[in-house]
Amino acid sequence: MLSRVASSIYWMTRYIERAENIARFISVNLNLTLDFPAEASRQWQPIIMATGDHQLFEKKHGTEYSARNVIHFLALDQEYSNSIISCLRAARENARSVREIISSEMWEQVNRYYLELKQAGTTDYASRNPHKFFKIIIMRGHMFTGLLYSTMSHGEAFQFALTGLLLERADKTSRILDVKYFMLLPQAGEINTPYDSIQWAAVLKSASALEMYRKRFHRIIPRHVCDFLIFDGEFPRSIRYCLKMGEQSLHKVSGTPVGMVSNPAEKALGRLCADLDYSDIDETISMGMHEYLDDLQTKINVVGGCIHDAFFKVATVPDNGGAAQ
């Protein structure tokens, strides 16, 4: 398939998944406000700090980190390139450029989703009904993934879509976990108190992981939460699961079985999966959770770069790439 098309499909799903994860990110906070209404107001600044875009925020809103401002900034600000609506715009532009490749159901859903968000930007629905609003965003993401799986042939284009989606999801689960270190920094006296476990439950909930976690570990213990979200072999948002499924998709593109390597992208992702297979939560904790997650994110980015070089940026000399036509 055309390199440009593969790239557009890969980025389309990445942006859709990114939009969904911004909603999940915010919902960590929303979940907390349900349990600790009094604490809620002090929690909105760290969420912006965690994005790294606080300077841009302050340019627009000063230091007024109100729920309203933060929600608007992260969800509906069209000038902020990492907002939900900006992600959707990017996803839609990509979808538009491959609409003859994806199913029309997928295109129509992205298009409608974007128009809906644009409409939401003109009202204050999001800040008045944030729980409902972000739930809708998450459901839209699920709907798109469902359409992807069930209306598009599972050929090469689909594998690129899935690879993009899974890499993005792995990255974002690591960031949701990392949020704990930015915004829920355990104050010495709070560790192992009900407050602490409620915070961790909020993290699980925002990854739709609470029930599945409880089936495996029953009690909420930080070590187990991290173990579950990083290493679980069956939960579809755990980092290891996402990367291993991503590896399978990537291998379906080249036709090389997992375990063999035919290009640098497979090599980079294979190595990352092996890291996760042969490491465990104790090692992670001794390395320092934040440091570990940071390193993981860098490695996921390297995989993304390798995918770009291997498939999207094709050499113009036919002999270099003419192997399989």
Partner 1 sequence: MNFSNYDTQGFYDELFDQDNVPRPGAKLLIEKIESLPENDLMLKQRSAETALLQLGNTFAVYGSEEGTEKILPFDMIPRIIDNRDWKKIEMGLQQRIYALNKFIHDIYHDKKIIKDKVVPEDLIMTCATYRKQCEGLVPPKSIWCHVTGTDLIRDSDGLFYVLEDNMRCPSGVSYVLENRQVLKRTFPHVFADSGVRPVDEYPNKLLATLENLAPATVSESKIGVLTPGIYNSAYFEHSFLAQQMGVELVEGQDLVVTDGFVYMRTTKGLQRIDVIYRRLDDDFMDPKAFRADSMLGVPGIMDVYRAGRVAMANAPGTGIADDKAVYAYVPEIIRYYLGEDAILPNVPTFICREDKARAHVLENLDKLVVKAANESGGYGMMIGPHASEAEREKFALLIQKNPRNYIAQPTISLSRVPTIVGDHFEGRHVDLRPYILYGEEIYVMPGGLTRVALKKGSLVVNSSQGGGTKDTWITDSGAGEDENHSQTQYHVPFSQSQSQTLTRSDDITGGNHA
Site residues (CB under 8 A) for partner 1? 1-4, 6, 93, 96-97, 99-100, 104, 107-108, 111-112, 115, 156, 160, 253, 311-312, 314, 316-318, 320-325
Q: Which residues contact 241 (CB under 8 A, 6 or more apart)?
A: 232, 233, 234, 235
Q: Of the two residues 38 and 323, which places its CB atom closer to partner 1 in the complex?
A: 323
Task: Name the nearest CA neighbour of 149 among 93, 106, 88, 95.
Answer: 106
Strand partners, 260: 258
Q: Of the two residues 96 and 131, which places its CB atom closer to partner 1 in the complex?
A: 96
Distance in Å, CB of 11 to partner 1, minimum: 13
Q: Of the two residues 97 and 127, which places its CB atom closer to partner 1 in the complex?
A: 97
Structure tokens at 157: 């284009």
Distance in Å, CB of 301 to partner 1, minimum: 21
Distance in Å, CB of 93 to partner 1, minimum: 6
Q: Of the two residues 118 and 214, which places its CB atom closer to partner 1 in the complex?
A: 118
Distance in Å, CB of 119 to partner 1, minimum: 12
Q: How far apart are CA 158 and CA 177, in angstroms?
A: 28
Q: Of the two residues 61 and 308, which places its CB atom closer to partner 1 in the complex?
A: 308
Return the HEC string of 76-143.
HCCCCCCCHHHHHHHHHHHHHHCCCCCCHHHHHHHHHHHHHHHHHCCCCHHHHCHHHHHHHHHHHHHH
Structure tokens at 132: 């409902």
Q: Which residues contact 149 (CB under 8 A, 6 or more apart)?
A: none
Distance in Å, CB of 109 to partner 1, minimum: 10
Residue 48 φ/ψ, nearest 5 degrees: -75, -40
Positive or negative: CA dihedral 51, 18, 208, 303: negative
Q: Of the two residues 184 and 265, which places its CB atom closer to partner 1 in the complex?
A: 265
Distance in Å, CB of 164 to partner 1, minimum: 13
